[in-house]
């Protein structure tokens, strides 16, 4: 793998109002990317997650340019603001640097199978865009995580087979991950990333022995986690160099269409 060729497929920017996160600025992200040999990253901004697609799209477009074309960005779809989001996303699909759609059922409090998501799946299908979504397992201390159980996406994933869907965070833990594995093995358009605090023994080894390795993407979840945390898990995993290269670069290039961008 050549120097400075990695792709971080799951980062965030902009301050988060729920609690403090260190280093959420572009300069901090680029410094880490340079240090670790990350050539490109795919970002969804915190502001849009709170306020809807338009809140951060224009600033993300500027950050793509400021980064020298290294920081690609996703447009957030808020299921409670469908018309507003779709209007803005129709403009964004023509922008250089725009890479896909982000949804977050747990954050927005709307279950993943709800009919209010249908417009964005249709939009993604029409424009051949990938959809990155939060996914997780049942959590006693965070009940809305149940809105993002991997199985709740199955209807849309099966219906919109041309849309590549990345179920982030490997579906969380326990039963969530087991359900994610089932879905990835059933649907060729289902993927996952390893972003987040999914700390368990030999995650990369067990995951790549359970699903095709070309469906697993590296993600850091910056600034929630230092990129070195999940990067090290891949680099030290007992898997072939070919599998590592897929996870750390090739899969993201293919899913987000970044090869020639």
- Per-residue pLDDT tens over the stretch 109-163: 999 999 999 999 999 999 999 999 999 999 888 899 999 999 999 999 999 999 9
Strands 131-133 and 98-103: parallel
Evaluate if residue 82 carries a pLDDT over 90. yes
What is the per-residue pLDDT for 161? 98
What is the per-residue pLDDT for 199? 82
Nearest to 29 by CA among 52, 46, 54: 46
2 confidence band (pLDDT: 50, 70, 90):
low
DSSP symbols for 91-153: HHTTSTTEEEEEE-HHHHT--TT-GGGHHHHHHHHHHT--EEE------SS-GGGGGG-GGGG
What is the per-residue pLDDT for 178? 96
Q: What is the mean predicted confidence (pLDDT) over 92-107?
A: 96
201 confidence band (pLDDT: 50, 70, 90):
confident
**What tokens were used for 9?**
């497929």
53 confidence band (pLDDT: 50, 70, 90):
low
What is the per-residue pLDDT for 25? 82
What is the per-residue pLDDT for 254? 97
What is the per-residue pLDDT for 224? 87
Question: How does pLDDT run across 162-183, given as a tens digit for each residue?
Answer: 999 999 999 998 899 999 999 9
Average model confidence (pLDDT) for the chain?
Answer: 92
Q: At what angle do helices 118-127 and 82-92 cross, to 10 degrees?
A: 10
State percent of the chain over pLDDT 70. Answer: 93
Q: What is the mean predicted confidence (pLDDT) over 237-251?
A: 97
Question: How does pLDDT run across 16-43, given as a tens digit for each residue?
Answer: 666 666 656 899 899 999 999 999 999 9
> Which residue has better confidence, 197 or 154?
154
Evaluate if residue 48 carries a pLDDT over 70. yes
pTM, 2 dp: 0.95
Q: What is the mean predicted confidence (pLDDT) over 187-208?
A: 94
Options 3.50.50.60, 3.10.20.90, 3.20.20.140, 1.10.10.350; CATH for 6-255 is: 3.20.20.140
Q: What is the mean predicted confidence (pLDDT) over 220-241?
A: 94
State percent of the chain over pLDDT 90. Answer: 79
Evaluate if residue 14 carries a pLDDT over 90. no
Q: Residue 57 in contact with residue 48, Cβ under 8 Å?
A: yes
Q: What is the mean predicted confidence (pLDDT) over 49-66?
A: 84
Q: Residue 123 in contact with residue 83, Cβ under 8 Å?
A: no
């Amino acid at each position: 793998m050549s120097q400075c060729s990695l792709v971080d497929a799951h980062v965030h920017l902009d301050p988060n109002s729920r609690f403090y996160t260190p280093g959420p600025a572009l300069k901090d992200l680029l410094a880490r990317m340079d240090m670790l040999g990350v050539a490109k990253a795919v970002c969804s901004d915190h502001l849009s997650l709170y306020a809807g697609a338009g809140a951060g799209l224009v600033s993300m477009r500027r950050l793509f340019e400021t980064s020298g074309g290294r920081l690609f960005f996703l447009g957030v779809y808020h299921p409670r603001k469908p018309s507003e989001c779709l209007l803005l996303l129709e403009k964004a699909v023509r922008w250089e640097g725009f890479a896909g759609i982000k949804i977050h059922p747990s954050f927005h409090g709307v279950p993943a199978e709800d009919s209010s998501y249908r417009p964005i799946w249709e939009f993604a299908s029409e424009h051949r865009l990938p959809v990155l979504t939060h996914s997780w397992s049942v959590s006693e201390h965070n009940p809305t995580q149940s809105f993002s159980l991997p199985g709740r996406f199955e209807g849309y994933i099966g219906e919109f087979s041309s849309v590549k869907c990345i179920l982030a965070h490997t579906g969380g833990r326990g039963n969530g991950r087991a359900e994610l594995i089932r879905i990835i093995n059933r649907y060729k358009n289902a993927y996952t990333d390893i972003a987040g605090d999914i700390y368990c023994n030999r995650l990369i080894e067990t995951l790549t022995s359970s699903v095709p390795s070309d469906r697993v993407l590296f993600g850091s979840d910056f600034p929630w986690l230092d990129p070195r945390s999940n990067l090290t898990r891949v680099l030290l995993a007992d898997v072939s160099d070919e599998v590592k290269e897929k996870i750390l670069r090739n899969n993201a290039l293919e899913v987000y269409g970044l090869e020639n961008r």
